[in-house]
Amino acid sequence: MSDNRTPVVILVRPQMGENIGAAARAMLNFGLTEMRLVEPRDGWPNPKAVAMASGAAGKVLDHAKVYPTLASAMEGIEYAFATTARGRELSKPVFTPQTAMDKARALDGRCALIFGPERAGLENDDVARANAIVTVPVNPDFPSLNLAQAVLLMGYEWGRDTLPPEPAPHVRKAAAELLADRVEIEKLGDHYEEKLKESGFFFPETKAESMRLNLRNMWSRLTLTQGDVRILHGVLRQLTRR
């Protein structure tokens, strides 16, 4: 399912099927598709996980593999990141999610993102099997993240440089969404200037030319669609109707 550079997500002793399903959704949001499970508490497969994954993310669960130990789940992994606020007493580099995923993109082989069980997170024995620790800089008064949130943060940092930076533009836009050209803007300005002149807006005469210039400049600064222009013409016609 994945190429040799996309990180593998390893969930160690996950407790609730709903959290596994939510993690699968978070993974697929950012192009992570390989999940490995170590001793899931409620067994596998888990219908609650499937229900929470909802639709396309179900394919992540369909291909998820179950392992008896974290050591066996490291098959084919060359570098592993343990996501935890614990384990600082171990002599390992500690990264933020952004720095960790920058390093992951520079690796030649597979890397793994290891997440612990919901209640207490990874134990030191788990962290000892990783190359580095990833800790999220959060509010020290409330540092708790649920499993799917942690997966989402790591996935976002991975996808930030590998996925399109913005949503793909619509292939075809409705006329109301097409930008008005300069001629349409010019005619709109003429329409307003005409009606404002009839209403006596340009007063006193000594300031009239400056007022017209400022209004014309205002129209040129606005980014209007063809639909916007039609609405503004209609507003003016309604306001000036006798």
What CATH code is carried by the domain that includes residue 202? 1.10.8
Structure tokens at 120: 């207490």
pLDDT digits (tens, 9 = 90+) for 39-57: 999 999 888 998 898 777 8
Sign of CA dihedral 174, 179, 183, 185: positive
- Tell me the Cα Rg of the chain: 29
Domain identity same for 139 and 183: no
Count how many Cα atoms sit within 13 Å of the Cα of residue 66 in the half-sphere of its side chain: 13
Does residue 2 form part of some domain?
no
The CATH number for 49's domain is 3.40.1280.10
Domain identity same for 127 and 208: no
Domain identity same for 13 and 123: yes
pLDDT digits (tens, 9 = 90+) for 107-163: 988 999 999 998 888 998 999 999 999 998 888 888 778 899 999 999 999 988 777
Does residue 169 form part of some domain?
no
Banded pLDDT at 1 (limits 50, 70, 90): very low
3-state secondary structure of 189: helix
Domain identity same for 184 and 151: no
Residue-number span of the structural domain to which 229 is assigned:
175-240
Give how many domains the chain has, as a whole number: 2
Rounded to whole angstroms, the Cα distance separating 241 from 81 reads: 69
What mean pLDDT, rounded, does the chain reach? 88
Q: What are 94's strand-pairing partners?
A: 133
Domain identity same for 179 and 234: yes
Structure tokens at 204: 């006193």
Domain identity same for 131 and 190: no
Domain identity same for 151 and 194: no
